[in-house]
Structure 1
Amino acid sequence: MADSKKKRGAGDRARIALGEAYEVAYWSKKFKVTPAELKSAVNKVGHSAKKVEAYFKEQKHLAADRARIAVNEPYEVRYWSKKFKVTPAKLKAAVAAVGHSSKKVAAYVAKKKTASKKVATKKVAKKKATKKKAA
């Protein structure tokens, strides 16, 4: 019913019919996205033009926020893991702990690294002390 040729009221104009090539072309041009991106958005949020428009606005906002870590994107996980020199699992745990801000995650990872270094140095000191006592 999204594209009934006999019903041309507001309800029909407010919906995106992916089965019609001219509608896909129109809405793609209107939202300045590719047809594939439009189809993906419609599959995620539904056929409502308002919901799809809101979805694209949110996506553009998130893309503009370069300091945000999106753990659902594999390329971002690889990038930030290399940048912070941690495993992807540790990166995801850090994001879960402090949020998606790269600054907060960087501080959290640095804090964890210094804490693990302190533990490691304590272990080494303990081993040296036990060797001295044995000797």
Structure 2
Amino acid sequence: MADNKAKRGGSDRGLIALSEAYEVRYWSKKFKVTPLKLKAAVKVVGRSARKVEAYIKLQKHKASDRALIALSQPYEVSYWSKKFKVTPAKLRAAVKAVGHSSKKVGAYLSPKKAVKKKKTVKKRAAGKKKTTVKKAKKSVRKRAT
């Protein structure tokens, strides 16, 4: 987009003018980032749209790498094992089953935990019913005597 409407050359179209609100909206929408992130990228790499686009893609790639589980790093295995409250062996098995994405591993491990919780709740509910029945029988016995 041209920052000077009188100039319509190709070299001006490849530059981002932060002083123009419509350009900030256009480039933010095109790169799928907030205007603040666009302004920060322009500040780091300059006004060139190509350089800004490459920088934004690099930043998105780095952010997605943080959510990956690297089994080759012992500190990562320890961290994710504690986070998901599983043993390292179970973590490795989960990563092998669904991949290195922490979201997928979390989803894979959480249904197992939810099933255990449901079973526990059912046992507790069944136990409470039994005690209620026992109390009712005791009260009937007391009345009879």
Q: TM-score by structure 1 length? A: 0.49
| Bigger-Rg structure (1/2) | 2
Q: TM-score by structure 2 length? A: 0.46
